[in-house]
Amino acid sequence: MLTKRIIPCLDVQNGRVVKGVNFTNMKDAGDPVEIAEIYDKAGADEIILLDIGASPGSRNSIIDMIKKVAGRIEIPFTVGGGIRTVADLEEVLDAGADKISINTAAVKNPDLLSEAASRFGNQCIVVAIDAKKRSDGSGWDVYINGGKHNTGKDVIEWVFELEELGAGEILLTSMDRDGTRDGYDIELVQKVAKSVMIPIIASGGAGRMEHFYEALKEGEADAALAASLFHFKEVEIMELKNYLRDKGIEVRI
């Protein structure tokens, strides 16, 4: 049985970690370098750092932040936000990131994935999907630009395509559940997990420890991601891992 992973997410805006609800109403949660180090010591398996305010002008500050984080933690970390070219990707990996998360650029330029996977290996290519359920309940659409634009792409069709293009992992966020603490969208996670062979990280909606169990067991996710629940110390990572282990989920203690 493969070990399941617990991953804190750092949404970074203007050099600070922030957290909102349904992608809005952001609140300050602290310094990203300090928080990353805390999670490393607390038993996190990986860290994902997303520059949600990414712009060409912010690139230098993010590169500097990546170098600082890489110098302070031992666990793998993924960086996403504003990565549009292979040169961007290479710069972030050279700064110390272990993986790259691509969202909008993957939709706009699918060839970027193929080229990046060929050059750097698909193990370091994570594609983030912001998914929102259609009002008629028929499935989920893929959104880009920080959840602002509906591409009209069907999530299940998109993950098939991504696997073919060379994505090594999917970071799947339910926009409907993001920040609500009502639990992950298990139906969404399970359908995506059953559709492809590559690992799925469930994101959006964690509110208590049972939600992680549901995502990993019923949703068949390979990893579960959360932000505010960890940032505000409502759940400690090792407490969560012990709970999951007692429930029969294989985790790294």
Token representation of residue 126: 């994570």
Q: Return d(Cα 45, Cα 71) in angstroms, integer.
A: 17
Q: Return d(Cα 237, Cα 8) in angstroms, integer.
A: 9
Q: Is 130 a catalytic residue?
A: yes
Residues in the chain: 253
* CB-based burial label for 110 (10 Å; 0-12, 13-18, 19+): middle
Token representation of residue 219: 């949703």
Are 78 and 41 in contact by the 8 Å Cβ rule? The answer is no
CA distances 183 to 37, 187, 204, 218, 226, Å, are 27, 11, 8, 12, 11
Token representation of residue 91: 């710069």
Token representation of residue 4: 């399941």
User: 223-226 and 200-203 as β-strands: parallel, antiparallel, unpaired?
Assistant: parallel
Residue of 11, 40, 141, 185 marked catalytic: 11
Residue of 45, 130, 141, 222 marked catalytic: 130
Are 77 and 70 in contact by the 8 Å Cβ rule? The answer is yes
The H or E element that residue 49 is part of is strand 47-51
Q: Is 182 a catalytic residue?
A: no
DSSP reduced 3-state for 98: coil
Catalytic residue list: 11, 130
